[in-house]
Structure 1
Amino acid sequence: MGLLHPFIEIIEWVDDSQDTIVYRFPVQDKEIKMGAKLTVRESQTAVFINEGKAADTFGPGLYTLSTQNLPVLTELRSWAYGFHSPFKAEVYFINTRQFTEQKWGTENPIMLRDAEFGMLRLRAFGIYSFRVGDPLKFLQQVSGTNGYFDVESIAGQLKRTIVSGLTDLLGELKIPALDLAANYDEISKSALTKLNVNFQTLGLELASFFVENISLPQEVEQMLDKRTEMGVLGNLQQYAQFQAADSIKDLAKNPGGMASAGMGLGAGAAMGSMLFQTFSQQPQSAPPAPPQQPQTATCAFCGASVDAHAKFCPECGKAVEPRTSACVKCGAALKPGAKFCSECGASQATETICKSCGTKIDSDTKFCPHCGTKVE
């Protein structure tokens, strides 16, 4: 703080608070001595005001005040070169550090249109941080001549700015309500860019912005819970049967039975009817398959329709030629005259006995493979 002398020789501000943005150095009824020491610490900016007009601005550092480092004030006062007399001026210190853990939230629900649920009322909240980006603009647009200005003095305006901008952003993004939680990071980044435009008009900078939660109305949440239960339950009939069986088990544990449970005879009958209907309902079985039509063939002599398994034609009495034959080895159905089985590959030739040596050979073999005798 300045020393209590007629002339101020040291100008500085030691910030002991955590939320002070602007502090006016006490110079009332005092004059600043030319050659006084000005100390501006890190995250501070000092601004000299002359008769309500902003003059010179100083960043972090140690300064000895003179006409050389007060060019604007020198020009406003029309000082001659080498002026050494004390002078009057207001000195404002602006805190330029980042103010973190600032909370925002929707006091009233945000009305949005959703493709699936129609009109919705959403609530949201989160945190943000900001700093003074342009000290001179902040003095001119916000704090003015206030000797003390803290975060609380502007918090309400910043929250309203955030909610208004976020409402507009959610309408532009058109994210489905069920997908909002999966897009918090994307919404936060987009909001940081969009809201910074409004903050900069106040000489501020939005350093960070986070959406912590966007909640749906209670009615919609209950509907989603029901939808989730339906998906978990799956087969509702089986679930109803399980619930009915479980209720019977609970009633059986009651020594007084259903009557002592306050249900009465009529209620017991109604319960029995309900349980009967529950357990009697069975899933519908598939319709029976249509009867197979009998296989038929055509008689080669008269053209009449004949059952495929008939040996004689019922019209002309002629013997029906077999349409199929059986494999001599595996029994598979073959076309008449087939020499090999299409299933096992076995030859369909019948066996015969060699008259000379008695060896069994195929009937289509011309010479006996054992003795060489010609087969008749």
Structure 2
Amino acid sequence: MSFFKNQFANVIEWEEFRDDMIFWKWNNREIKKGSRLIIRPGQDAVFFNNGRLEGIFEEEGDYNIESQIIPFLSTLKGFKFGFNSGLRVEVLFVNTKEFTVRWGTKNAINIPTPQLPGGLPVRANGTFQFKVNDYIALMDKIAGVKDRYLVEDVKIRITAILDQLLMKWITREGKDMFNLQANAFEIAKGIQEDLDMQILDSGMTITGFNIMSFNYPKEIQDMITKNASHGMIGDISRYQQVSMTDGISSGKVKGGGTASDMAGMMMGMGMAKEMMKNMDQKEEPSNPTPTNSDAKDGTIPIYCPNCGTKTNGGNFCSNCGQKLVK
């Protein structure tokens, strides 16, 4: 008799758990006396009846349906009558963790820029984070028609619109197309807000969006690097020094030990010569001492042509008595 009494007893638990699974639905089965609910760490159990949310159980543990769950589900038809007949309900198990997903543009995005009529081809990559935050919306939009939902499903949905959002936020407010990494935080923040609006009605929220790097075609990257190096060079002598250094490191100045040493000596001598030249220029007085040629006939020179003492406008030098006006 006891066998028949408990033949419909069952265990309600997440049977097909995967770390990349957002939710899994236990459905279309009868709950009978002796049934148990098992909730593991990082899971919530959400009870639905006819599409209506009846209760959310968040604490992990092994629960007896009749003595521990029924008091919270008293509105469900059948529970209050002590299981006189089996009751079919849906239990949605939700993964409560925050998911981190890597993303990357499949194709280069051509960003409009005046410097390049065809647009600047840019690739980008990074990560985004999301989690479930609204069980009712999740049931209405997704879980109502699906028994399981994976991280890959969200990734496909996000990456489908990511290229458009990247173009929108890169071009907004005249971002520097050749230094996008400097604006990566602002661009990522704008994209996160837009993505959150896209999936909010599905019961999920974007908790973070990061851009790890922007990548240009090799030719564009070489041009950016070259322009940056030129901008760091203040004069032709420094340009020659940098060019010599680049030549040695790249192998264009060849010859093994002796040739490289000679090139290094030449570069060092050139740098020393330039330093001495700069020092000499700094030591030259800014106001050279005037000579007799500075004074014209009939005018009083500023300095005495005989001893160099300042005249202060007098007709005779106060130091040596030299007549100053011809």
Give the conservation status (yes or no) of the 8 Å contact 1:45–1:57.
Answer: no
Corresponding residue SS for 1:8? coil
Q: For 1:278-357, list aligned pairs within 5 A.
A: 330=307, 338=316, 341-342=317-318, 344=319
Maintained 8 Å contact 2:141/2:202: yes
> Is the Cα–Cα contact under 8 Å of residues 67 and 83 in structure 1 kept in the other structure?
no
Task: Answer whether contact 1:39 1:60 (CA < 8 A) is retained.
Answer: no
Letter in 1 for 2:216: L
Letter in 2 for 1:168: K
1:149 Cα deviation after fit: 2.6
Code of the aligned partner of 1:189: K
CA contact (8 A) 2:55 2:72 kept: no
Say whether the 8 Å CA contact 1:6–1:31 is kept in structure 2. Answer: no
Quick one: structure 1 residues 327 and 155, their matched pair in 2 at CA, closer, same or farther if it must change by over 3 Å?
closer
Say which structure, 1 or 2, has more relative contact order (CA 8 Å, 6+ apart): 2
Segments of structure 2 that go 5 or more residues without pairing to the other structure are 1-5, 259-292
- Letter aligned with residue 31 of structure 2: I
| Structure 1 counterpart of 2:93, one-letter code | F
Q: Corresponding residue for 2:11? A: 10
Offset of residue 121 of structure 1: 1.9
The equivalences for 1:86-165 within 5 A come to 86-100=86-100, 102-114=101-113, 117=116, 119-165=119-165
Counterpart code for 2:151 = V
Name the CA distance, whole Å, in 1 between partners of 2:224 and 2:156: 35
Q: Give distance in 2, aligned partners of 1:137 and 1:248.
A: 67
The verdict on how the C-alpha distance between 1:39 and 1:239 changes in structure 2, with shifts beyond 3 A counting, is: closer
RMSD, matched Cα: 4.3
Q: Pairwise mapping of residues 203-222 of structure 1 onto structure 2 (< 5 A)?
A: 203-222=203-222
* Deviation of the 1:158 alpha carbon: 2.1
Question: Cα distance 1:54–1:230, how it changes in 2: closer, same or farther (>3 A)?
Answer: same
Distance in 2 separating the partners of 1:219 and 1:249:
25
Aligned-partner SS, 1:73: coil
Matched, 1:180 2:180: yes
Aligned equivalent of 1:60, options 58, 67, 81: 58
Asked if the contact 1:112/1:121 (under 8 Å) is kept, the reply is yes
Superposed CA offset, 1:49-68 (max 9, x none): 445x2342313134645664
- Report SS of the residue matched to 2:178: helix
| Change beyond 3 A, Cα 1:295–1:174 | closer
Kindly indicate whether the alpha-carbon contact (under 8 Å) linking 1:114 and 1:120 is maintained by their aligned counterparts in 2. Answer: yes
In structure 1, C-alpha distance between the alignment counterparts of 2:212 and 2:253, rounded to whole Å = 47
Q: Tell me the distance in 2 between the aligned counterparts of 1:249 and 1:10.
A: 77
The separation in 1 between residues aligned to 2:315 and 2:193, in whole angstroms, is 89
Check the 8 A contact 1:98/1:129 in 2, yes or no.
yes
One-letter amino acid matched to 1:187: I
Deviation of 1:117 after TM superposition, in Å, equals 4.9
SS, match of residue 19 in structure 2: coil
Aligned-partner residue type, residue 164 of structure 1: Q
8 Å contact kept, 2:9–2:33: no
How much has 1:152 moved relative to structure 2?
Answer: 2.1
- Normalized per residue, the structure richer in helix is 2
CA deviation string 1:243-268 (max 9, x = no partner)? 9xx99997xx9xxxxxxxxxxxxxxx
In 2, Cα distance between the equivalents of 1:248 and 1:87? 85
58 and 336 in structure 1: CA distance in 2 versus 1, 3 angstrom threshold: closer
C-alpha distance in 1, partners of 2:104/2:173?
19
Runs (5+) with no aligned partner, structure 1: 254-291, 298-307, 309-322, 350-376
Q: 1:205 to 1:8 in 2, by over 3 A?
A: farther
Whether contact under 8 Å (1:40, 1:58) holds in the other structure is: no
- Residue-by-residue CA offset, 1:111-149 (whole Å, 9 max, x unaligned): 322355563221111011211111232232124343333
Give, as a single letter, the amino acid of the residue that structure 2 aligns with 1:46: A
Q: Does the 8 Å contact 1:67/1:82 carry over to 2?
A: no
CA distance in 1, matches of 2:229, 2:305: 64
TM-score, length-scaled by structure 2: 0.64
SS of structure 1 residue aligned to 2:202: coil
Partner of 1:315: none
Structure 1 residue identity aligned to 2:189: K
> Structure 2: how far apart are the matches of 1:333 and 1:36?
114
The question of whether the paired residues in 2 share the 8 Å contact of 1:47 and 1:54 is answered with no
CA distance 1:82–1:168, change in 2 (3 Å): same
For this pair of structures, how many residues does the alignment match? 264
**Distance in 2 (alpha carbons) for counterparts of 1:84 and 1:155:** 42
Percent sequence identity over matched residues? 24
Do 2:98 and 2:130's aligned partners in 1 also have CA atoms closer than 8 Å?
Answer: yes
